[in-house]
Amino acid sequence: MIDIDKILKILPHRYPILLVDKITSLKPFEFVGGYKNITINEPIFLGHFPSKAIYPGVMIIEGMAQAGGILAFYSAYGDKVDEAEKLVYFMSIDRAKFRSMVRPGDRLEYKLEVLKHKGKVWVLDAKAFVDGKLVAEAELKAMLGDNDDNKAKK
Protein backbone atom coordinates (compact mmCIF):
# COMPACT_ATOMS: atom_id res chain seq x y z
CA MET A 1 0.00 0.00 0.00
CA ILE A 2 1.04 3.56 -0.67
CA ASP A 3 -0.35 6.09 1.78
CA ILE A 4 -1.12 9.77 1.27
CA ASP A 5 2.33 10.91 2.48
CA LYS A 6 4.07 8.95 -0.30
CA ILE A 7 1.42 9.95 -2.86
CA LEU A 8 2.20 13.60 -2.06
CA LYS A 9 5.88 12.93 -2.79
CA ILE A 10 5.14 11.32 -6.17
CA LEU A 11 2.34 13.50 -7.54
CA PRO A 12 2.69 17.27 -7.94
CA HIS A 13 -1.07 17.73 -7.39
CA ARG A 14 -2.45 19.36 -4.25
CA TYR A 15 -5.88 20.32 -2.95
CA PRO A 16 -8.33 20.63 -4.60
CA ILE A 17 -7.01 18.56 -7.53
CA LEU A 18 -5.26 15.69 -5.72
CA LEU A 19 -7.71 12.88 -6.46
CA VAL A 20 -6.08 9.75 -4.98
CA ASP A 21 -6.38 9.06 -1.25
CA LYS A 22 -4.58 5.71 -1.13
CA ILE A 23 -3.00 3.07 -3.36
CA THR A 24 -4.15 -0.36 -2.21
CA SER A 25 -2.35 -2.58 -4.71
CA LEU A 26 0.49 -2.13 -7.16
CA LYS A 27 2.50 -4.58 -9.25
CA PRO A 28 5.13 -2.72 -11.28
CA PHE A 29 4.61 -2.87 -15.05
CA GLU A 30 1.22 -4.59 -14.58
CA PHE A 31 -1.51 -2.95 -12.46
CA VAL A 32 -2.49 -0.47 -9.75
CA GLY A 33 -5.53 -0.14 -7.52
CA GLY A 34 -6.47 2.79 -5.37
CA TYR A 35 -9.33 4.97 -4.25
CA LYS A 36 -10.72 8.40 -3.49
CA ASN A 37 -13.44 9.02 -0.93
CA ILE A 38 -16.00 11.41 -2.40
CA THR A 39 -17.43 13.83 0.16
CA ILE A 40 -19.92 16.67 -0.06
CA ASN A 41 -17.03 18.94 1.00
CA GLU A 42 -15.46 18.71 -2.48
CA PRO A 43 -15.36 22.26 -3.89
CA ILE A 44 -16.59 20.97 -7.26
CA PHE A 45 -20.05 20.40 -5.74
CA LEU A 46 -20.58 24.13 -5.32
CA GLY A 47 -21.32 24.25 -9.03
CA HIS A 48 -21.86 20.63 -10.16
CA PHE A 49 -24.73 20.65 -9.37
CA PRO A 50 -26.09 22.72 -6.48
CA SER A 51 -29.47 20.95 -6.54
CA LYS A 52 -28.04 17.41 -6.99
CA ALA A 53 -24.36 16.81 -6.30
CA ILE A 54 -22.84 14.67 -9.06
CA TYR A 55 -19.08 14.10 -9.25
CA PRO A 56 -17.95 15.18 -12.75
CA GLY A 57 -16.66 12.62 -15.23
CA VAL A 58 -13.61 14.76 -15.95
CA MET A 59 -12.63 14.44 -12.27
CA ILE A 60 -13.02 10.65 -12.46
CA ILE A 61 -10.74 10.57 -15.51
CA GLU A 62 -8.17 12.78 -13.74
CA GLY A 63 -8.24 10.53 -10.66
CA MET A 64 -7.64 7.45 -12.82
CA ALA A 65 -4.80 9.29 -14.58
CA GLN A 66 -3.19 10.16 -11.24
CA ALA A 67 -3.36 6.52 -10.11
CA GLY A 68 -1.85 5.51 -13.45
CA GLY A 69 0.89 8.09 -12.96
CA ILE A 70 1.81 6.44 -9.67
CA LEU A 71 1.96 3.06 -11.43
CA ALA A 72 4.24 4.40 -14.18
CA PHE A 73 6.46 6.22 -11.69
CA TYR A 74 6.91 3.21 -9.41
CA SER A 75 7.45 0.86 -12.33
CA ALA A 76 10.19 3.01 -13.81
CA TYR A 77 11.91 4.34 -10.71
CA GLY A 78 10.76 2.57 -7.54
CA ASP A 79 12.55 4.34 -4.72
CA LYS A 80 15.72 4.93 -6.76
CA VAL A 81 15.05 8.53 -7.75
CA ASP A 82 14.18 11.80 -6.08
CA GLU A 83 10.48 12.19 -6.85
CA ALA A 84 10.86 15.97 -7.17
CA GLU A 85 13.01 15.47 -10.29
CA LYS A 86 10.44 13.47 -12.28
CA LEU A 87 6.85 14.02 -13.43
CA VAL A 88 4.26 11.93 -15.20
CA TYR A 89 2.56 13.82 -18.02
CA PHE A 90 -0.98 12.94 -19.15
CA MET A 91 -1.00 12.60 -22.96
CA SER A 92 -4.40 11.36 -24.14
CA ILE A 93 -7.81 9.90 -23.31
CA ASP A 94 -9.47 7.42 -25.65
CA ARG A 95 -12.71 5.44 -25.46
CA ALA A 96 -13.97 7.22 -22.33
CA LYS A 97 -17.38 6.05 -21.14
CA PHE A 98 -19.37 7.09 -18.11
CA ARG A 99 -21.83 4.45 -16.97
CA SER A 100 -23.25 5.65 -13.67
CA MET A 101 -23.35 8.72 -11.44
CA VAL A 102 -20.87 9.16 -8.59
CA ARG A 103 -22.30 10.95 -5.58
CA PRO A 104 -21.07 12.22 -2.21
CA GLY A 105 -20.52 9.32 0.16
CA ASP A 106 -19.20 7.04 -2.59
CA ARG A 107 -15.78 5.43 -2.49
CA LEU A 108 -14.43 5.74 -6.02
CA GLU A 109 -12.11 2.79 -6.69
CA TYR A 110 -9.55 3.00 -9.47
CA LYS A 111 -8.21 -0.11 -11.24
CA LEU A 112 -5.69 0.29 -14.02
CA GLU A 113 -3.75 -2.25 -16.07
CA VAL A 114 -0.82 -1.69 -18.38
CA LEU A 115 -1.79 -2.31 -22.01
CA LYS A 116 1.52 -1.19 -23.47
CA HIS A 117 4.76 0.25 -22.23
CA LYS A 118 7.54 1.45 -24.51
CA GLY A 119 10.32 3.62 -23.19
CA LYS A 120 8.78 6.48 -21.24
CA VAL A 121 5.28 6.07 -22.72
CA TRP A 122 2.56 4.09 -20.97
CA VAL A 123 -0.87 3.04 -22.28
CA LEU A 124 -3.30 2.06 -19.53
CA ASP A 125 -6.72 0.45 -19.37
CA ALA A 126 -8.45 2.47 -16.64
CA LYS A 127 -11.66 1.63 -14.84
CA ALA A 128 -13.48 3.25 -11.90
CA PHE A 129 -15.95 1.46 -9.64
CA VAL A 130 -18.35 2.29 -6.82
CA ASP A 131 -19.46 -0.67 -4.69
CA GLY A 132 -18.10 -3.06 -7.33
CA LYS A 133 -20.14 -1.42 -10.12
CA LEU A 134 -18.30 0.00 -13.14
CA VAL A 135 -18.96 3.76 -13.29
CA ALA A 136 -16.33 4.90 -15.83
CA GLU A 137 -13.63 3.56 -18.12
CA ALA A 138 -11.06 4.89 -20.56
CA GLU A 139 -7.77 4.19 -22.24
CA LEU A 140 -5.16 6.62 -20.96
CA LYS A 141 -1.70 7.46 -22.25
CA ALA A 142 1.01 9.00 -20.11
CA MET A 143 4.70 9.82 -20.39
CA LEU A 144 7.44 10.00 -17.79
CA GLY A 145 9.62 13.07 -17.95
CA ASP A 146 11.91 15.36 -16.06
CA ASN A 147 10.63 18.10 -13.78
CA ASP A 148 12.68 20.88 -15.35
CA ASP A 149 11.50 23.39 -12.74
CA ASN A 150 13.17 21.49 -9.91
CA LYS A 151 16.36 20.82 -11.89
CA ALA A 152 16.76 24.55 -12.47
CA LYS A 153 16.53 25.24 -8.71
CA LYS A 154 19.50 22.99 -7.87
Domains and CATH numbers, the chain: 4-153 (3.10.129.10)
pTM listed for this prediction: 0.94
> Which comes out higher in pLDDT, residue 85 or 16?
16
* 135-147: b (≥16 Cβ within 10 Å) or e: bbbbebbbbbeee
**Digit-coded pLDDT (tens) for 55-106:** 999 999 999 999 999 999 999 998 776 778 889 999 999 999 999 999 999 9
Give me the phi and psi of 41, to 5 degrees please. Answer: -75, -5
Residues taking part in catalysis: 48
Beta strands in the chain (DSSP E): 22-27, 31-37, 86-98, 107-118, 121-130, 133-146
